[in-house]
Amino acid sequence: MIWLTWRQHRIEILIIGIILLLFAGVLVATGANIASESQNISANCVSQQSACLQAQGALANYISRIMESSAFYGLCIILPLVLPVLAGIFIGAPAVAREFEQGTYRLIWTQGIAWNRWLLIKIGMLICVILCAFGTLFGLFSWWSSFIPTVMPRALNIDFSNHFDGWGVVTIAYALFAFLLGIFTGTVMRKTLPAMAITLVVFVLVRILIVNFWRPYYIPPLVVTTTENTSPQIPVGSWILSEDIVNQEGQPVTIDAQQICNGLLSSIPTSTETAQYERCIINHGFQNKTVYQPADRFWLLQGIESSIYLLLAAMLFALTFFWTKYRVLRT
């Protein structure tokens, strides 16, 4: 069965290997250079401060050019976002649907291989491939980004400000969910193309639901309220959920209400106008209200979201066996 599964899916596995080689080539080549330069800067910063700052600036410019290049953006920013759903569409959905569509499953089941053993080996082997592929991908991104904060503290660290979906460990859970969603839809539909289409639609809907309605509230967000002319002290890398101007009761202030104070300022405010504006703000109790998830919750929220997708994947795995036993075997 293992050899048969390899024969059936060797093209998909080889494509995964080629994609990983592309990622590894780009990230290892640029990451090794960044790591080497960072070590040189650390060694020289003790005695030569001006040369140190110059070298840091040159390395920061090099990193910026890499991140802003279209090739890097397409390969390392966009592609990781779509790889999980591609795994579900092109690996998960056809894996079982093609067998039912072509009727080859009957031949396999009559060769002394039980349906549950056939299904378990097929799904299990492909799950191992996906785990290895996306685990390697996460490791490469984590290794690459680990050198950046020493040179550009606010640039490309893995935090809420960027790459929560593409560079975090949750990407592995996305891929498993998409794959088992494809397996289940293929088992139910028994047709490859409809299974691929349904996998895409359901995956996108689930992602939209979780990202917009669940993720911000896995843990109650923090709220900071300051006077309107004072900027809130939000940790770097935090996820800003909302920024509003509110009154003393905490209710959002309409644009018309804000104009009461804004109308006191001319295009070039004088000190008198500024003083009147500040008194108006205080009298009306206008405040800035910022709702955010702090940066130190990043991995906790990654773990919560990963658990949700892994639970959904486990449910789809069980439903696949249930459907095969009580629907497929009885037809």
- On whether both 280 and 308 belong to a single domain, the answer is no
Q: How confident is the model at residue 117, as a pLDDT?
A: 86
- On whether both 230 and 305 belong to a single domain, the answer is no
Is residue 34 in some structural domain?
Answer: no
Q: Is the pLDDT of residue 282 over 60?
A: yes
The residue-averaged pLDDT of 298-320 equals 95
Is residue 204 in some structural domain?
Answer: yes
- On whether both 101 and 182 belong to a single domain, the answer is yes
Q: Is the pLDDT of residue 264 over 50?
A: yes
The answer to whether 160 and 298 are in contact (CB under 8 A) is yes
- On whether both 91 and 199 belong to a single domain, the answer is yes
Domain span including residue 205: 2-16+84-218+298-328
Q: Which of 40-44, 179-183, 250-254, 288-292 has the lowest mean pLDDT?
A: 40-44
| Residue among 166, 203, 204 at smallest CA distance from 184 | 203
Is residue 75 in some structural domain?
Answer: no
- On whether both 121 and 193 belong to a single domain, the answer is yes
- On whether both 171 and 304 belong to a single domain, the answer is yes
Distance CA 150, CA 18 (A): 31
Q: Is the pLDDT of residue 5 over 50?
A: yes
Per-residue pLDDT of 133-187, as tens digits, reads 999 988 888 888 776 655 554 444 455 656 788 888 999 999 999 999 999 999 9
What type of residue is 265? L
- On whether both 214 and 262 belong to a single domain, the answer is no
Torsion of CA 64, 67, 71, 73, to 10 degrees: -150
Q: How confident is the model at residue 170, as a pLDDT?
A: 92
Q: Is the pLDDT of residue 113 over 50?
A: yes
- On whether both 165 and 270 belong to a single domain, the answer is no
pLDDT class of 75 with cuts at 50, 70, 90: confident
- On whether both 302 and 261 belong to a single domain, the answer is no
Is residue 138 in some structural domain?
Answer: yes
The residue-averaged pLDDT of 198-206 equals 97
Helices 170-189 & 115-145 angle (0-180, nearest 10) = 150
Q: How confident is the model at residue 301, as a pLDDT?
A: 92
Is residue 187 in some structural domain?
Answer: yes
Is residue 58 in some structural domain?
Answer: no
- On whether both 96 and 174 belong to a single domain, the answer is yes
pTM for the model stands at 0.83
Is residue 181 in some structural domain?
Answer: yes
User: How many domains does the chain divide into?
Assistant: 2
Q: How confident is the model at residue 156, as a pLDDT?
A: 45
- On whether both 155 and 303 belong to a single domain, the answer is yes
Per-residue pLDDT of 9-31, as tens digits, reads 778 788 888 888 888 888 888 88
159 DSSP assignment: B
- On whether both 238 and 111 belong to a single domain, the answer is no
Q: How confident is the model at residue 127, as a pLDDT?
A: 94
